[in-house]
Structure 1
Amino acid sequence: MLTFEEGIDIVQEIGQIATVEAARRLFAEKLAPEQLDRIAGFENPAVLLKIANAIAMCQPDIVFINTGSEADRQFIRDLALEKGEEEALPMAGHTIHFDLKQEQGRIIDRTYYVANDKELVSSLALRMSRPEALDTVRKGMVGIMRGKTMVVGFYSRGPAGAPVSNPAMEITSSAYVAHSAELLYRNIYSEFEKEVRHLDHFYTNIHSEGLNRPEDLPDARVLMDRAHRTTYAYKCTYAGNTLLLKKGNHRFSVDRSVYERRGEELAEHMFITCMETPGGRLTGIAGAAPSGCGKTTTAMAGDHFIGDDLAQIWIAEDGTVRSVNPECGIFGILEDVNREGDPVLMRCLREPGTEVIWSNVLIDANGVPHWTGNGEPPPERGCNFQGPWEQGMKDEKGKTVPISHPNARCTLASKALSNYSPKAEDPAGVETRVITYSGRDSDTMPPVWEARNADEGVVIGACIVSAATATEVGAKGVKRAPWANAPFIPGSLADYMDAQFKFFNSEKIDSDKRPIMAGLNYFLTHEARGGEGKKLLGEKRDVKVWLSWLERRSHHDMAAIETPIGFIPCYEDLEKLFKERIDKVYPRDLYDKQFSLYIDNIVKRIDLQLEAYGKEENLPPQLFKVLQSQHAELMALRDKYGPIVTPELIESCKSVN
């Protein structure tokens, strides 16, 4: 279990500011008159003590209280340019930020949960005791902001007023981090204490990039103090390690959903989008996928975009499941973003009018960003994440240096997207009728399948398998990625899984509005289905069809074929949807390749999960019951029809639902 407020608060232990009076004395000493006026109206003791102790610990020369006004935003933009954290590009509102060459993703080997003695920490994460964390932060962060400006921002992770939003402070010496926060989160300076009173908690994030030198990177640390909902990060630059409002605070939200609100809300690594039928019906869809596995593409395939990365989900009083996006912007991976697959996003990136922070792309001699897979002619040379670049250049190991890093990103406000939905700012959230889970699977699962019940749906999420992506420094190979949320589950997997089963089986959900749960897989290759080459069987635009089928299923508008892994589409329905939604012919032979069950591969996948989960403690028995039942059904089907079973064969022996 997790006990909040247990143990010393590290920043207060170091800062030694224990009273509101002492905090105000420090503010009077350290803040310029205008900045002092901005903090004078704050009254919450916990908020004031966090800010004061952060100042006492980090010792900045200047403290800037960011109110979110346009003048304050411009100050932050200018500071980022002045410090060299960003450089202006020719297109108005566009800047480029380069992370350290050695830090192009989350530093998972230097990221720790601060834990009290009896607290369980995920088996997939690193743990640090509170005394060791105190010593680590003291050595790493005391005085780290001398000569720097500390920016203090006040944000809501979700629309203000939503029951699952989380107020949070970002305290940083990085203008790039502060600039990113202004694009990605809702600045609620004037409403911050009201939200804290309403929700009875807030998160605190303290970061400094230090001297920003490669030789300092081995000493970089990211620490998350779960009991005091405070993160610490230093000597790092990549946003996944520094913009602690994002995945750092997402972890705290996962804790909140598991240990305070179990069975009532979820904090997930999910996109949120809405599909619209010709008759005008809107259906909310939320879906999990590890970074680099098509999450942004799926979100953008919806008719009304809400978010591409995180979701706060709850059961409303009317029995509906509802979702809000903690963010109001995109920190999106750029690789393979192009006009064919991502026309809406490309308009923002290539046409004037959108504020964009680029990171780790190539900038050519004309100041134009380029990246791998953009579908445009590449330049001969430029500057990218590792320095000067030219076509064909090799690194020290003789490996070709790509035009951009696989984890190159763009940061922009969601309101810039033409399909952005005003519903994203509704504190009542979006009614969510479909939940999806996907990874990178080249040879096993079909493009889409629907769970037969909530338990099977939770197990789809638990069994995501993905190729390692560029978001994690040092990660490689194929690995399990439970719920695409495993790196962000602070406590035991057993507790998190139990929360999933309780939520989706909750009797509080109206039976007619219970979300369907499904798997998605965009990465099947020709060679995995009897052809040649690693080219994908489908296209990016097919995503709209898979989502449309799930939308129809959630309203009981289409039948499906029952299989041991769940329901799969009927060919006639897909043929019609391909024509209606993307004006594409969908041949029967392609359907057979995509939706035939390759039983040996699926059984091998199930065995992988049974072996891995068998090493965990106290897991809910439903997981093993579902996997063992599917295993038995698949083997029976194999005994009857062989290792490859077409939808036609399945349909001949199973009921159509």
Structure 2
Amino acid sequence: MLELNKGSDILTAVGGITSLEDAQAVLEKSLDKANLQKLSPITTVDALIKIANSIVICKPAAVFINSGSPEDVQWIREHALHKGEEKKLAKPGHTIHFDLPEDQARLVNQTYYIINEGEKISSLAKLLLRDEATQYVRQYMTGIMDGMTMIIGFYSRGPVGAEAAVPAIEMSSSAYVLHSAELLYRNCYDQFDREAERANIFFTNLHSEGKNRPEDVPNARILMDRSWLTTFSTYCTYAGNTLLMKKGNHRFCVDYATYHKKEEQLSEHMFITGLTGPGGRVNFCAGAAPSGCGKTTTAMVGSHFVGDDLAQIWIAADGTIRAINPEKGIFGIVEDVNREGDPYLMECLRGDGTEVIWSNVLIDEHGVPHWVGNGESVPERGVNFQGEWSPGKTDANGKPIPMSHKNSRCTLLASAIANHATEAAEDPAGVPIRVFTYSGRDSDTMPPVWAARTMDEGVVIGASIVSQATATEVGVTGVRRQPWANAPFIPGSLADYMEAQFVFFNSEKISAAGRPVMAGLNYFLTDGNRGGSGNKLLGEKRDVKVWLGWLERFAHGDVTGIETPIGYLPRYDDLKALFAEINKEYPESLYDKQFSLYIDNILHRLELQTEAYGKEENLPAKLFEVYRRQQAELTKLKEAYGPIVHPKQLA
């Protein structure tokens, strides 16, 4: 069980401020009259004490309170330019931010959960005992903002007033971080007190890039205090490590849902998008995928896009499963974003009128950003995060340097995208979810889409995601298990998180009409692994609309599936009709390649999962029951039809 406020609060232990009176004295000394006045609407005592302690520890030269007013937001933009954290580009409202070459993605090996003695955390996570973390903060954060301005903002992770929304404080010496926060989160400065009282919790995030030198990056740490819902981030600028309202606070939400909102809420690494079905009906889908595995592309395919990364989920009083996007913007990977696959996003990136912060792309001599896979001509020269670049440039080992980093990003308001369902996204009631999907980078085993036969099997699909490592994590390589695509963000016991999933989706609080379809997706099957040759994918981006379209119809009973041991597969005629709607031929030979069951591959995958999960303690027995049942059924199929089973043999 996660116990809140257990052990010493590191901010208080290092800063020494324990009372409101002492906090007010620090604030009156550190803030000028205008900013002290702006802070006056914030009366939550714990928040003021945390802010005061942060000031005492970091010792900034000045403190700026961001009220969210147009004037304050403009000051942040200009401060980012003045500091050199961002530079203007050719298009009005477009800026470029370069991270250090050593700081291009999540610093996985420098990210820790702060725990108390004797607490258990996920076997997939790194831990730091509270005393060690306190010593780190004392040693490395004392005076880290010397000569800098601390910027403080108050935000809501979700529409203000939503059941699963949580308020958060963001404190940083980086104007780029606060500029990003204004695009990604809802400023709730004037409603912070009320939201903190409603939610009964709030998150605190403290970051400083320090002097932003390559030699400091080895000392960088991203620390998350589970008990006190506080994050610390130092010596880095990549937003995934610094804008801790994103993945840092997502971890706290996962913890809170698992231990304090069991059978009520989930906090997931999922997109949310609405699909238009027959007769103009709109149904919403939420889907998990590791970063860099097509999550944003899938979200954008929907006719009513809500979010591309995170979802806060709960069971509503009417028996439906509801979800909100804790963010109001996107921090999206741009590699392979082009007009063919991502027309709505490209219109924002290449059109006029959208504010965009670019990071780690190539900027040509005309101030125009370029990136790998944009479907456009490559410039003859430019500047990227490594300096001057031209085609054919190589690194010290003779390896070609791409014009943009694989983890290059664009940050913009989601409402700028033409298919964004802004009204639904801002509704505190959330959107009802009819379909849940789980996917990864799987080149040889699972079909493009399949639907679970039961809620238990649906939970197991999420538990069984396997994916090739992507560029979003520094120092991570190879193919590995990615449970729910949420594993890097599960602080507590994996067994507890899994149990919460089984309990949630089997809850009697969910009405019959509200019970969702749970499914697997896989866009990364290759021809060479399905009887052909080479690494060419057996599909393309626009096919995603077909896979989601089939699930939408399956959820309504408009189509039926072929029952198999892994779940229901689509019938060829149903897919052919859906492909016709996107003006694409779909030969039956391709269907056979994509949807044949390669029994030995699936059995091997189940054996690997069984062995890996067998090393975990106290896992729900349901997981192994599902694995055993699927293994037995698959073995019978192999005995009847051989190692490769075609869908028509089962239909």
Residue 562 (structure 2) aligns with: 561
Residue 472 (structure 2) aligns with: 471
Counterpart mapping for 1:451-470 below 5 A: 451-470=452-471
Counterpart mapping for 1:72-83 below 5 A: 72-83=72-83
* 1:566-588 Cα deviation digits (max 9, x unpaired): 000011111111112x1222111
Counterpart mapping for 1:597-608 below 5 A: 597-608=597-608
Q: Distance in 1 between matches of 2:214 and 2:533?
A: 43
Displacement of 1:278 in angstroms is 3.9
Counterpart mapping for 1:451-600 below 5 A: 451-580=452-581, 582-600=582-600
Residue 239 (structure 2) aligns with: 239
Q: Out of 552-561 and 202-211, give the one that drifted further.
A: 552-561
* 1:394-436 Cα deviation digits (max 9, x unpaired): 1112211111111000000001000010200000000000000
* 1:472-523 Cα deviation digits (max 9, x unpaired): 1000011111000000000010010000000001010002220110000001
- AA aligned to 2:481 is R
Give yes or no for the alignment of 1:265 onto 2:265.
yes
Q: Secondary structure at the match of 1:576?
A: helix
Q: Secondary structure at the match of 2:437?
A: strand
Q: Secondary structure at the match of 1:511?
A: coil
- AA aligned to 1:470 is A
Residue 380 (structure 2) aligns with: 380
Residue 351 (structure 1) aligns with: 351
* 1:24-54 Cα deviation digits (max 9, x unpaired): 1111111111101011222211111111111
Q: Distance in 1 between matches of 2:637 and 2:41?
A: 69
Q: Distance in 2 between matches of 1:453 and 1:467?
A: 27
- AA aligned to 1:76 is I
Q: Secondary structure at the match of 1:512?
A: coil
Counterpart mapping for 1:112-151 below 5 A: 112-151=112-151
- AA aligned to 2:460 is V
Q: Distance in 2 between matches of 1:124 and 1:413?
A: 33
Q: Distance in 2 between matches of 1:589 and 1:451?
A: 25
Residue 162 (structure 2) aligns with: 162
Give yes or no for the alignment of 1:19 onto 2:19.
yes
Q: Secondary structure at the match of 1:567?
A: strand
Q: Distance in 1 between matches of 2:578 and 2:7?
A: 57
* 1:155-194 Cα deviation digits (max 9, x unpaired): 0000001010010000000000000000000001000111
Q: Secondary structure at the match of 1:513?
A: coil
Displacement of 1:645 in angstroms is 0.6
Residue 58 (structure 1) aligns with: 58
* 1:188-213 Cα deviation digits (max 9, x unpaired): 10001110111111000000000000
Q: Secondary structure at the match of 1:155?
A: strand
Q: Distance in 1 between matches of 2:507 and 2:363?
A: 51
Q: Distance in 2 between matches of 1:251 and 1:135?
A: 23
Q: Distance in 2 between matches of 1:18 and 1:443?
A: 57
* 1:617-638 Cα deviation digits (max 9, x unpaired): 1100111110111111111101
Q: Distance in 1 between matches of 2:648 and 2:443?
A: 23
The answer to whether the 8 A contact 2:311-2:323 is kept is yes
Counterpart mapping for 1:36-55 below 5 A: 36-55=36-55
Give yes or no for the alignment of 1:395 onto 2:395.
yes
- AA aligned to 1:154 is F
Displacement of 1:118 in angstroms is 2.5
State the TM-score, normalized to the length of structure 2.
0.99
Q: Out of 374-383 and 343-352, give the one that drifted further.
A: 374-383
Q: Secondary structure at the match of 2:284?
A: strand
Q: Secondary structure at the match of 2:279?
A: coil
Displacement of 1:288 in angstroms is 0.1
Residue 206 (structure 2) aligns with: 206
Residue 420 (structure 2) aligns with: 420
Q: Distance in 1 between matches of 2:562 and 2:483?
A: 26
Q: Out of 629-638 and 525-534, give the one that drifted further.
A: 525-534
Q: Distance in 2 between matches of 1:108 and 1:447?
A: 30
Q: Distance in 1 between matches of 2:587 and 2:370?
A: 36
Residue 319 (structure 2) aligns with: 319
Give yes or no for the alignment of 1:175 onto 2:175.
yes
Q: Distance in 2 between matches of 1:278 and 1:513?
A: 19
Give yes or no for the alignment of 1:287 onto 2:291.
no
Residue 10 (structure 1) aligns with: 10
The answer to whether the 8 A contact 2:41-2:190 is kept is no
Residue 432 (structure 1) aligns with: 433
- AA aligned to 1:136 is Y
Q: Distance in 1 between matches of 2:534 and 2:41?
A: 64
Residue 309 (structure 1) aligns with: 309
Q: Secondary structure at the match of 2:152?
A: strand
Residue 445 (structure 2) aligns with: 444
Residue 404 (structure 2) aligns with: 404
* 1:425-463 Cα deviation digits (max 9, x unpaired): 000000000000000011111100000001100110011
The answer to whether the 8 A contact 2:114-2:129 is kept is yes
Q: Distance in 2 between matches of 1:536 and 1:41?
A: 55
* 1:516-567 Cα deviation digits (max 9, x unpaired): 1000000111111111221111110010111111111111111110001000
Q: Distance in 1 between matches of 2:377 and 2:535?
A: 23
Q: Distance in 2 between matches of 1:558 and 1:47?
A: 53
The answer to whether the 8 A contact 2:42-2:192 is kept is no
Q: Distance in 2 between matches of 1:119 and 1:511?
A: 39
Displacement of 1:2 in angstroms is 1.4
Q: Distance in 2 between matches of 1:546 and 1:425?
A: 27
Q: Distance in 1 between matches of 2:145 and 2:103?
A: 21
- AA aligned to 2:360 is N
Residue 69 (structure 1) aligns with: 69
Q: Distance in 2 between matches of 1:159 and 1:37?
A: 26
Unpaired stretches in structure 1, ≥5 consecutive residues: 652-657
State the TM-score, normalized to the length of structure 1.
0.98
Residue 32 (structure 1) aligns with: 32
* 1:69-123 Cα deviation digits (max 9, x unpaired): 1111110000101101111101000000011101111111111100011221111
Residue 655 (structure 1) aligns with: none
Two-structure CA RMSD over aligned residues (Å): 0.8
Q: Distance in 2 between matches of 1:426 and 1:295?
A: 23
Q: Secondary structure at the match of 2:546?
A: helix
Give % identity.
63
Q: Distance in 1 between matches of 2:196 and 2:401?
A: 48
The answer to whether the 8 A contact 2:77-2:175 is kept is yes
Q: Distance in 1 between matches of 2:167 and 2:307?
A: 18
Residue 221 (structure 2) aligns with: 221
Residue 638 (structure 1) aligns with: 638
Q: Distance in 1 between matches of 2:403 and 2:263?
A: 46
Q: Secondary structure at the match of 1:312?
A: strand
- AA aligned to 1:281 is R
Q: Secondary structure at the match of 1:608?
A: helix
- AA aligned to 2:266 is L
Q: How many residues align?
A: 650
Displacement of 1:359 in angstroms is 0.5
- AA aligned to 1:181 is A
* 1:243-297 Cα deviation digits (max 9, x unpaired): 0100000000000100100111000000000001241211010000000000000
Q: Out of 532-541 and 185-194, give the one that drifted further.
A: 532-541
- AA aligned to 1:158 is G
